[in-house]
Amino acid sequence: MVEAPLLEMRAIHKSFAGVPALAGVDFHVAPGEIRALVGQNGAGKSTLIKVLTGVHRRDAGTVLFEGHEVDFTSTQAAQDAGVATIYQEVNLVPYRSVAENVCIGRAPRRFGLLDWKTINADAQNRLAELGVKVDVTRPLMEYPIATQQMTAIARALSFDARLVIMDEPTSSLAEAEVTVLLDAIRRLRDSGVAVVFVSHRLDELYAVCDSITVLRDGSTVADASIAELSKYELVSTMLGRSLTESERTGRHAGGIRATDAPTVLQATNLRRAPVLNGSTLDIKKGEIVGLAGLLGSGRSETARVLFGADKITDGEIRMSGTAVNFASPRDAIRARIGYCSEDRKADGLIPDLSVRENLTLALLPKLTRRGIVNRKRQTQIVDEFIGRLGIKLASPDQKIRELSGGNQQKVLLARWLCTKPDLLILDEPTRGIDVGAKQEIQSLVSDLADDGLSVLFISSELEEIITSCDRVMVLRDGQTVHELDGSAITEEAMLHAMAEGTSTIEPIDGGQLHA
Amino acid sequence: MPETTTAPSLAPPSTPTRRRTTSNGAALAQKYGAGALLVGLCVYNAVFTPNFLTAQTLLDVQLRQAAPVAIVALGMALVIAVAGIDLSVGSVMAIAGQVGALTLLSGAGPVAAIFAALLAAAVCGAFNGALIVRYSVQPIIATLILFVAGRGIAQMLTGGQLQGFSDPTFQFIGLGRFLGIPFPVVLMVVIGAVLWFVVRYTGYGRTLLATGGNESAARLSGIRVGRVKLVAYVTCSTLAGLVSLAVISITSASDANNVGLGIELDAIAAVAVSGTPLSGGRISVIGTVVGAVMLRLLQNTLIARGVSREVAQMVTGAVIVLALFLQRRTH
C-alpha cells in the first residue's frame, strides 16, 4: 500500500448558500486499498462524495485522479473516468433482469440487436467473480438487496471502475449478507481496485478497511492506518471529544432523585431487522433517560417501536407493568406516550397548516365534539402553550413553516405536552435550532420531569446527554450495551461503550461481527 | 382571442408607466386568478352579450350548466387534498345512472332509485379507497381501473340498452326549482357550503389537510390516515353519483356511453385553476366552484361568439395555464 494514490483530493472547499459544508478536506486512496470514510451526520461525507462523483462542483481545492487533475462536471463524466458509486438504496432498474442491469448502457450488440447470449454470459461471469451465483435472466427485484448490491458492484466493474465508492452499503443488510458483501469488497481490493467504504458500523470498518479518514465539521481530523487507531480513539475523534476533558456530572448527580419511583416503561430485548438487535431500557416516573449511540445504532428505531410506529419482531414492552403491543401511534397516544420525531420536516410539521392546527393535532380527538372542533377550547390550549413555551410568532393562525426552527420545535413539543403524556420520547429535540431555544427546551424538559413526566431523551451530543439525563442507555449496533447512572455518566464512559461495546448488561446474542 | 384577455395584468407592460398602473390589478389577479378571470368574462359578456345579466341566462344557463362539473370537482378537491386523484368519477356516474334508472324502471320509486344510485357510487368509491389505502396502489392507477372498466360494468347492467323512464318526481333533481332557483344550482351551493364548513370547522377537515400535507406526521400524531383517505374517495364517488341523477333526470334516460363522459378532466381542471396543487394538503372550496363556473362560462362565451370547438378547447387550455401562472407567485 505504498503505491501512489489513485485519487488525491486536497483542501476541498464547498459551501451551500454561504454555509460551508466542506472547509478544507484532504482525502486520498490508493489502488488495492480499502479506505473508510467516517464522520457524524453533517460532517461532510456525502458532500465530499458528491464533489468527487460530479454531483456538486467544488468551490476550491484540487482533485487528482490517476495523477491528472480532474474536474468532473457530471456523474457520467466521473463514471467514464472510472469512478463508480454504490449507494445504500440500489439505483438500478428493478424490473429488468440482473444481466441487463449489469450491462445497461453498454450492452453488446450484433447486427444492431442486443446480443443476449453475450450479455447473460458476461453478467454471469462478473457476478461469479464476486462469489455470487444467481440466474441472471430473472428480474433484479426478485433478489434480496444484498444481491442487488452485488449486481451494482458487477456493473461498476463492467465499466472498468478503478475507484468504487460504497456509501453505507451494509445499512439495510442482514449479518450473513454483510459477510458476503465484505468478501466481495476484499476481492475488489485484491484485483487492484481502490475502495472508499462508508459505514457507521465500527466492527465492519475494522473487519475490512486498511485505512481510515475521519471528517468532522467539514474538515479532515484524522487520516491513519486502521491498525493505528483504536475504536475508542476513532469515536472520540469523530465526536470531537478529547480524552482529557474533565468529567461532568448528570442532572441530579448526588442522589436527589427518588430511586424508588415506579417504573413507567420497561422494554426488553427489542428486535426489528435490520437495525434493532436487542434494545433494552426502562424509565421510571419523573426520570429522564438518555439514549446514546452512534448514527445507525438504533436510537430512532427504538423510539419508533416504543411509539407503535414500527412493529417489533421480538421482545417485550411493558407500560406500568402491563405488556402492551401498539398497532399504531394512535394506540401509543391513548396509552399516554408522546413522540417528537428526529426529522421535524419529514415526520413532524404539516407545513401548510397554521400553528394552531399543528399544535393541537394529536389532541384533536379530545377537542372534537360531534365532529366539530371546539374552537374556544382550542384557542385556550394554544394560547396557554404559546405562553408557557415562549413561542415567538405573529399569530397562532400563521403557517408553521414561517416560524424559525426553534419555534417550530417548540410547537411540536407543545403538540405532545398538551396531550398530558406520562412518557415523552424526544428524538434529537435540539438539533438544528439556535442556542437560546436549545437551552430553553432543555430546562423545560428538566422541569417537566421534576413534575413527574418520564422522558426518553435521544441525542447525538454527548454533552447534552450528560447535562440533561438522570440515566443513560448506550446502544451499539442495535443493542443496548451499557447503562450509566448519575455521576457515572461521563463522555469517556459513553465513548467506550459506543466504541467497544463494554457491556454491563448480559449480552443477548453472540452473533456479532468481530474484527 | 383578444376578448378573453380581459384580466388586467395580461397586456404586456410596454412602458414603465403602464406597468405601474397594472400592478395593483395584477396583485389581485394573482391572489384570485380564477376569480379574476370569471369577473373579466362576466364584464365582457355584460357588455357584448345581449340579455346576459338576466336571471334566466345566469341561473338557468350558466350556473345550471356549471353545477354538475362543480359538484364533481368538489369531490375531486377532497381527494386532491389527500394528495390523490380520482379518474373514475365519469365511469362511476355511468354506473350510478344505470343503477338509478333500473331501480326506477323496476317500479321501486324515486327515493329508492336515489338511494340505490348513491349506494352504487359509494361502493365504487370504497373500492378505489381500498385499493389505495390497503394495497398501496397509486391513486392514478387505482382509479384508472374503474375509469376503464366502469362503463363496461354500466353497459352490462342493462345489456347495452338505453334506459328511458318517465317519473315527474324524479325529474325534480335535474329540472326542478327551489325558491325559483334550478335545483342543481341549489345542490351545488348546499354541497359547497357543507364542504366549506367541514374543511373549516370539523375534526375531519383538520385530519384531511394534515394527511395530505404530511402523511407521516399525521400518522405519528395519531390520525387514522387510511380512514381519512377512504372517506375522501367515498365522498368523491358519492357526489359523482348524485350528479349522475341530475343528468339522467334531465333527459329521462340513462345512457351508459355518455353520462359523465370526460367529466373527470373538467373536474380536475376546475380544482387546478383554483390554485390547489395536486401535491395535497390544501383545498379551496369556493375556488373550486369559481373555477368550474369560470371554465363553463368561458366555453359558453366562445361558442356563443361562433368560435369553433377546436379553437375553444385550445383557449380553455390556455386559460388554465394563465390561471395557474397568475397564482403561481402567491404560493
Q: Is residue B229 a contact partner of residue B82, using CB atoms and an 8 Å limit? A: yes
Say yes or no to pLDDT of A261 above 80: yes
Question: Nearest CA to CA, how far is B90 from chain A (Å)?
Answer: 30
Q: Do B204 and A371 touch (CB under 8 A)?
A: yes
The answer to whether A382 and A374 are in contact (CB under 8 A) is no
Grouping H, G, I as helix, E, B as strand and the rest as coil, residue B178 is strand
What is the SS3 assignment for B243-256?
HHHHHHHHHCEECC
Contact A238, A40 (CB under 8 A): yes
Which of A254-263, B142-151, B252-261 is predicted with the least confidence, judged by mean pLDDT?
Answer: A254-263
Angle at CA A284, nearest 5°, toward A279 and A285? 140
The predicted structure's pLDDT at residue B308? 86
Given an 8 Å threshold on Cβ–Cβ distance, is B219 in contact with A329? yes
Chain B interface disruption, residue of A350, A366, A369, most B CBs within 10 A:
A350
Quickly state the pLDDT bin for B226 (edges 50, 70, 90).
very high
> Mean of the pLDDT values across residues A76-95?
82
**pLDDT given at position B20:** 40
Tell me the range of B21-25, B207-211, B261-265 where mean pLDDT is highest: B207-211
Q: How many CA atoms lie within 13 A of B96 on its CB side?
A: 34
Domains and CATH numbers, chain A: 7-239 (3.40.50.300), 245-336+421-515 (3.40.50.300), 345-420 (no CATH)
Residue ranges in chain B assigned as alpha helix (H)? 16-31, 33-48, 55, 64-81, 89-105, 110-133, 139-158, 168-175, 183-201, 203-213, 215-220, 225-251, 263-273, 285-304, 309-328
- How far apart, in Å, do the first and last CA atoms of chain B sit? 29
What local confidence, expressed as pLDDT, does residue B25 receive? 57
Find cell 373514475 and name the residue. Answer: B88
Judge whether A402 is closer than 8 Å to chain B, CB to CB. Answer: no
User: What is the DSSP-derived secondary structure letter of residue B63?
Assistant: I
Chain A interface includes B195 (CB < 8 A): no
Q: Over 90: is that where the pLDDT of A406 sits?
A: no
Backbone angles phi, psi at A258, to 5 degrees: -75, 120
List the Cα angle A278/A283/A285 in 5-degree steps.
165
Under 8 Å between Cβ of B285 and B207: no
CB contact under 8 A, B203 and A353: no
Mean pLDDT of A85-110: 78
For chain A, percent of residues with pLDDT exceeding 70: 91
Contact A347 B220 (CB under 8 A): yes
CB contact under 8 A, B217 and A357: no
**CA distances to A6, A20, A50, A51, B10 from A219, in Å:** 21, 10, 15, 14, 53
Q: How far apart are CA B160 and CA A34, in angstroms?
A: 71
Q: Is the pLDDT of residue A514 over 50?
A: no
Beta bridge partners of A354: A399
- CA B225 to chain A, closest CA, distance in angstroms equals 11
pLDDT in tens, A37-70: 998 777 888 889 999 988 899 999 999 999 899 9
Q: Give the alpha-carbon dihedral of A497, A501, A504, A505, to 10 degrees.
A: 120
**A453-471 average pLDDT score:** 90
Residue A231 pLDDT > 80:
yes
- Indicate the pLDDT class of residue A1, thresholds 50, 70 and 90: very low
Instruction: Write the pLDDT tens digit of every residue in B278-325.
Output: 888 999 999 999 999 999 999 888 888 888 888 888 888 888 888 777
Task: Give the length of chain B.
Answer: 331
Q: B214 touching A, CB under 8 A?
A: yes
Mean pLDDT of B9-15: 37
C-alpha cell at A26: 484532504
- Identify the pLDDT of residue A273: 83
Domains within chain B, CATH numbers bracketed = 59-328 (1.10.3470)
CA gap A108, B216 in Å, rounded: 45
Of A216-220, A252-256, A440-444, B88-92, least confident by mean pLDDT is: A252-256
Mean pLDDT score of chain A = 86
8 Å CB contact of B281 and A372:
no
Residues of A in contact with B213 (CB under 8 A): 350-353
**pLDDT higher than 70, residue B30:** no
Task: Give the predicted TM-score (pTM) of the model.
Answer: 0.75
Task: Determine how β-strand A263-272 pairs with β-strand A276-284.
Answer: antiparallel
ipTM of the prediction: 0.81
Which of A 327-366 lie inside 8 A of B, CB atoms? 328-330, 333-334, 339, 341, 346-353, 357, 361-362, 364-365
Q: Is the minimum CB–CB distance between A311 and chain B shorter than 8 Å?
A: no
- DSSP state letters, A353-366: SBHHHHHTTTTHHH
Poorest-confidence range of A13-17, B56-60, B110-114? B56-60
Nearest-angstrom CA–CA distance, B221 and A416: 9
